[in-house]
Amino acid sequence: MKLNHGKLTAAIIVLLFFMSSCGSKAKTTDAPKPEKESGSHSELAVEGYVIQPTVLHSSIEVAGTLLPFEETDIHPEVSGKVTYLSIKEGAHVKKGTLLARLFDGDLQAQLHKLSVQLQVAEKTQQRQDDLLKIGGISQQDYDLSVLDVSSIKADMQVLQANIDKTIIKAPFDGKLSFKNISIGAFITPTTIITTIRQDSKLKLEFSVPEKYGPRVLLGNVISFTTEASGKKYKAKIYATESGITADNRSLKVHALVENIDKNITAGSFAKVIFDMGDNNEAVMVPTQAIIPAARDKKVILYNGGIADFKTVTTGTRDSARVEILSGLSIGDTVIITGLLSIKPGSNINLSSLNK
């Protein structure tokens, strides 16, 4: 019995030692570990650009068309048969040059008849005047004779006006186009006899985008070139449309071209160089700072460590910078790197500044 009791005591001691060892290992294993920094609030390092006032000489190129300064289709005022035609295609004519005549024989006959009646009426009036002086007729009879003369003269004026409508003349100095009729043709007011274009001067028609509209001033001189010649020509702005065109949001402009040569003709395409002058306080930012959006353009403004997205209106650009017309001011700092990683309100840290 003593031997068994000793064995039992030894077994209990081994068991207690084993349990003590396991507990020590468990405490060592389950000890809390220090937490790692999550980094969720870390700042993104980016580069910024401080906007400085820039001297900008800006100009834009737009497409234009050369048009006749004056152009019109020549129609007769009345219907009739063509009895005279003097239209030399492509010829230059002066204002008032006779181009065509219509048959007016019936009108001339009526005018001659009224002319004879007028002679008789005037003689009657003269006799009535002599009788009135000696009291041979009443004042009323004399007034009727005067009325008769006046009425005939009025009828003759109406006839003469109708005769004048049969005479077709050039409305202004210009160059004639092709003729569309021949002698003997019966024409109506809808018939186009020919077209005349004033070619001593031209007008240049072009459009500028809406944002440049305020810079279009009457009297400004612009330059243009044509496909036929690399020479630069000058034109002076003399008129603009009353409002912005709704379909393409642009302002239509007319400029007068006076010094012309054989290389510029009506209908030609023109490349217009619209010089907008110098701006000593232009706001310019690097091209990479612009974020294109569906309806507008944005930049990211550095605002005390916070990313502030601003909508801007852009103007002219060169190879490296873009003009900002609205949305930014001189002295603002815009972000030029890491734009895709930045969200509105993000924390940002400027690693460097460019000017």
Q: Look at the pTM and tell me if it is higher than 0.85.
A: no
- Domains observed in the chain: 46-56+280-354 (2.40.420.20), 61-69+197-279 (2.40.30.170), 74-102+166-195 (2.40.50.100), 104-165 (1.10.287)
> Shortest CA distance to 159 belongs to which of 112, 126, 98?
112
pLDDT at 35: 41
The pLDDT tens digits for 182-228 are: 999 999 999 999 999 988 899 999 998 887 788 788 998 889 998 88
| Predicted pLDDT of residue 212 | 78
Q: Give the rounded percent of residues in the chain with a pLDDT score beyond 70.
A: 87
Query: Which is nearest to 69 in space by CA: 250, 264, 221, 212?
Result: 264
Residue carrying structure tokens 């306080």: 281
List, in sequence order, the alpha helices (H) in the chain.
2-29, 105-133, 139-164
What is the tens place of the pLDDT at every residue in 116-128? 999 999 999 999 9
Q: Is the pLDDT of residue 66 over 80?
A: yes
Q: Sign (positive/negative) of CA torsion 82, 87, 89, 90?
A: negative
The pLDDT of 72-101, averaged and rounded, is 95
Nearest to 206 by CA among 47, 84, 94, 64: 64
DSSP, res 46: E
pLDDT at 217: 85
Tell me what pLDDT residue 11 has. 52
Measured between its terminal Cα atoms, the distance across the chain in Å is 100
Residues 6+ apart with CB under 8 A from 310: 298, 299, 300, 301, 327, 328
Residue 57 in this model has a pLDDT that exceeds 80: no
- For 257-284, the pLDDT digits (tens) are 987 787 788 888 999 988 766 677 889 9
Determine the average pLDDT of the residues in 223-251.
Answer: 87
pLDDT score at 316: 78
Q: How large is the average pLDDT for residues 124-145?
A: 91
Kindly state the average pLDDT of the residues 97-111: 95
DSSP secondary structure, 133-151, as one string? HTTSS-HHHHHHHHHHHHH
For residues 99 and 94, give the distance between their C-alpha atoms in angstroms, rounded to a whole number.
11
Could you tell me if 91 and 195 are in contact, meaning their C-beta atoms sit under 8 angstroms apart? no
CB atoms within 10 A of CB 206: 22
- The pLDDT score that the predictor gives to residue 3 is 44
Specify the pLDDT at position 17.
53
Identify the residue with better confidence: 74 or 23: 74
Q: Are 314 and 325 in contact (CB under 8 A)?
A: yes
Tell me the per-residue pLDDT of 150-162, one tens digit each, with 9 for 90 and over.
999 999 999 999 9
Beta bridge partners of residue 307, listed in sequence order: 302
Residue 249 has pLDDT above 80, yes or no: yes
Quote the pLDDT of residue 21.
52
- Cα(186)–Cα(82) distance, integer angstroms: 6
Q: CA 179, CA 89: separation in Å to the nearest integer?
A: 6
Q: Per-residue pLDDT for 2 more than 60?
A: no
pLDDT on residue 1 = 40
Q: Render pLDDT for 7-46 as a digit per residue (tens, 0 to 9).
A: 555 555 555 555 555 444 444 444 444 443 434 456 788 9
